[in-house]
């Protein structure tokens, strides 16, 4: 079997020539991240701490890090397990081996999970999947969670386990914002657990057309055997908020000011 470096480089040709194709699962308001169905696991977190009770800002931030970091790392570990499976499939294809029916079925499951339309060429499909099935640096996840939840103090974090300002669009799907603009019908999604919310957020960035630039930046870094830092990937968040570039700059500033790069696991470069 070829070494990982050999078959990763070989597959890069297929990845670089790949155009991501979205399915109807992503056809919602392009500005907002909540276009995928809320998929909840049976996992439960301990109760969200009352972050507003911390009068000292540094203590509140540390409590926030302690609460969120294990969930971020667990979600990324789950994505990495899927990515490792795809890399093993890539090795088989580069080695000239065919895939079993079970492997093809599982590839279809991943395609659906990540909103990728099926296509005939399996090599190109695996290449396209590898652009999507990848980790989001903890620095970026932490910055957005802090920004969108007010360091865990928002009503939506406390009542709905929603730390990322994720919207949903069916009646009763979440919490109705008190200051919702006239004519708007969205609600703020609720999740069974904060872990479910983190998983959903990462899958959103990995799936929706609005964040294709983020995935392109990440894939380009992978070809250099690197993990793109969170502040660089933030450039792909211009459509996460109606604030656009101003939002991107704020997320980058939060990463730098709070030294959030220290939470990213370097071994995920492999």
User: Does 46 map to a domain?
Assistant: no
What is the domain count for the chain?
1
- Please give the Cα distance from 71 to 64 (Å, whole number): 11
Q: Got the DSSP string for 154-197? A: SHHHHHH---S--EE-STTSEE--TTPPTT---EEE--SSHHHH
Predicted TM-score (pTM) of the model is 0.83
Structural domain of 14: 4-19+30-38+57-265
User: Does 44 map to a domain?
Assistant: no
Q: Which of 118-127, 210-219, 261-270 has the highest mean pLDDT?
A: 210-219
- Give the lowest-confidence range in 33-42, 125-134, 186-195, 196-205: 33-42
User: Does 45 map to a domain?
Assistant: no
Band of the pLDDT at 239, cuts 50, 70, 90?
A: very high
User: Does 24 map to a domain?
Assistant: no
Quick: pLDDT tens for 59-117. 999 999 999 999 999 999 999 999 999 999 999 999 999 999 999 999 999 999 999 98
- Please give the Cα distance from 141 to 131 (Å, whole number): 18
User: Does 48 map to a domain?
Assistant: no
Band of the pLDDT at 267, cuts 50, 70, 90?
A: low
User: Does 151 map to a domain?
Assistant: yes
CA 259 to chain centre: 20
Res 37: pLDDT: 36
- Please give the Cα distance from 50 to 63 (Å, whole number): 10
User: Does 118 map to a domain?
Assistant: yes
User: Does 270 map to a domain?
Assistant: no
């Amino acid at each position: 079997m070829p070494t990982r470096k050999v078959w990763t480089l070989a597959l890069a040709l297929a990845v670089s020539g790949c155009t991501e194709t979205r399915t109807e699962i992503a056809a919602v308001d392009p500005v907002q991240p909540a276009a995928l169905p809320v998929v909840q696991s049976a996992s439960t977190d301990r109760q969200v701490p009352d972050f507003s009770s911390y009068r000292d800002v540094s203590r509140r931030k540390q409590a926030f890090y302690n609460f969120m970091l294990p969930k971020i790392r667990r979600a990324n570990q789950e994505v990495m397990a899927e990515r490792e499976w795809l890399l093993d499939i890539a090795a088989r294809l580069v080695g000239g081996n065919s895939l079993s029916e079970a492997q093809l079925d599982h590839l279809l499951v991943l395609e659906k999970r990540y909103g990728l339309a099926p296509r005939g060429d399996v090599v190109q499909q695996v290449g396209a999947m590898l652009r999507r099935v990848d980790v989001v640096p903890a620095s970026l996840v932490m910055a957005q969670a802090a920004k969108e939840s007010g360091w865990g103090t928002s009503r939506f974090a406390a009542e709905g386990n929603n730390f990322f300002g994720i919207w949903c669009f069916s009646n009763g799907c979440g919490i109705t914002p008190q200051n919702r603009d006239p004519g708007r019908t969205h609600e703020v999604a609720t999740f069974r657990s904060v872990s479910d919310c983190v998983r959903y957020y990462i899958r959103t960035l990995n799936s929706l057309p609005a964040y294709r630039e983020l995935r392109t930046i990440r894939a380009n870094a992978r070809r250099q055997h690197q993990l793109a830092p969170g502040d660089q990937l933030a450039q792909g968040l211009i459509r996460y908020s109606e604030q656009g570039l101003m939002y991107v700059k704020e997320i980058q500033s939060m990463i730098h000011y709070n030294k959030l790069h220290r939470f990213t696991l370097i071994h995920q470069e492999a």
